[in-house]
Amino acid sequence: MVSQENGNQSQQTGGRFAVTLPLATLRGVGVQLGGRDILTDVTAQLRRREVTALIGLNGAGKTTLLRALLGEIPYSGEIRFDCVHGNRQQPGHIGYVPQRLRIEGNLPLTVFDLCGLSLRRWPWFLPLGTRFRERVYAMLDAVSVAHLLDTEIRVLSGGELQRVLLALALEPTPELLLLDEPAAGIDFHMQEEFYGLIGRLNRERGVTVLLVSHDLTMVSKSVGHVWCLKDGQIECEGSPHDLLHGDALARIFGSHQGVFGHRH
Ligand SMILES: Nc1ncnc2c1ncn2[C@@H]1O[C@H](COP(=O)(O)OP(=O)(O)OP(=O)(O)O)[C@@H](O)[C@H]1O
Ligand SMILES: [Mg+2]
């Protein structure tokens, strides 16, 4: 570890947490998959109300770490949250946009159907009312895709689908938003817009964001803090200014030429 953050000196005041108290604290987190150690000793503190990028080579375990944070896979060590929802993983406080979404290619499911299936709290066979439709419209409008309400999922572009998934991840507004390569496969213009949107969410709604990305140019423009995952642990962390230049990257990852090229 190159740097270690301040620690838990802060307290909860009047139902709100001081900004200096980490939103999540990971201690010695390890994950085994298929009999292999993927993560061995991840120790880090996720800064509250900041945007943190998680970077590392293909196969380093970035997606695995997000899944451990979600409580989706078993892990050793400790992950502690300090959220108004409590200190364990709870669906209500974590929004997640996965790296890949496998939707059956021929399923005639519209964006509205997908939102209905994800959000409704009453039996699926009851019709969805006008008020629900208005709610879904507003939710999609917040990420500029309201016009896709009745479009079938299978015809959406990669960028459009990512936005729809982001809209779902933001309903209700999460305390923590986990984004796994949210802008991969999106054109440059849309990428700028996407990262702009994430920045606004962070500033205006106070959402803490942890995003995985291979695009170091976007990362250096858009995040406040970076975690570098290597050999099953956070090898180093710091500001993009300190970490995301040739010398530091070469020291951390060896020759960095082409290392972060997107291969999916
Ligand atoms: N269910 C699984 N069973 C066995 N091995 C797995 C499983 N899921 C992931 N792995 C392995 O764990 C390692 C880390 O995978 P992970 O998807 O977390 O990497 P990543 O850092 O997200 O990579 P990328 O940048 O390519 O998305 C890989 O070697 C992968 O093959
Ligand atoms: Mg991944």
* C-beta 60 within 6 A of ligand 1: yes
Q: How confident is the model at residue 7 (pLDDT cuts 50, 70, 90)?
A: very low
What's the pLDDT score for residue 126?
65
Q: Which of 29, 39, 40, 64 to mutate to test the pocket of ligand 1 (most atoms within 8 A of CB)?
A: 64
Query: Rounded to whole angstroms, how far apart are CA atoms 131 and 140?
Result: 14
pLDDT in tens, 148-185: 999 999 898 888 888 899 999 998 889 999 999 988 76
| pLDDT greater than 70 at residue 260 | no
Q: What is the pLDDT of residue 249?
A: 79
Q: 223 CA to middle of ligand 2, Å?
A: 19
Q: Omega before 240 cis (within 30°)?
A: no
Query: How big is the chain by its Cα radius of gyration, in Å?
Result: 19
As a whole number of angstroms, the longest Cα–Cα distance in the chain is: 59
pLDDT digits (tens, 9 = 90+) for 81-105: 987 766 666 656 899 998 877 766 6
Beta-carbon count within 10 A of 47 CB: 22
Ligand 1 neighbourhood includes 58 CB (under 6 angstroms): yes
Per the structure block, which two tokens stand in for 61? Answer: 């375990």
Please tell me if the CB atom of residue 38 comes closer than 6 angstroms to any atom of ligand 1: yes
The per-residue pLDDT for 168 is: 92
Q: In what order do the strands lie in the sheet with 76-81?
A: 36-46, 24-33, 76-81
Give bridge partners of residue 237 from the DSSP assignment.
227
CA separation, residue 191 to residues 19, 95, 138, 166 (Å)? 28, 20, 22, 13
User: Angle formed by the axes of helices 158-169 and 130-141, to 10°?
Assistant: 110
CA pair distance 199, 179, nearest whole angstrom? 13
In CATH, 12-101+176-253 is 3.90.25.10: no
pLDDT at 19: 67
Chain centroid, CA 5 distance in Å: 21
- At 195, list the tokens: 């990262």
> What is the whole-number distance in angstroms between the Cα of residue 130 and the centre of ligand 2?
38
What's the 232 CA to ligand 2 centre distance in angstroms?
A: 14
232: left (phi over 0), alpha (psi -120 to 50) or beta: left
DSSP character for 175?
S
Distance from Cα 65 to the centre of ligand 1, integer Å: 10
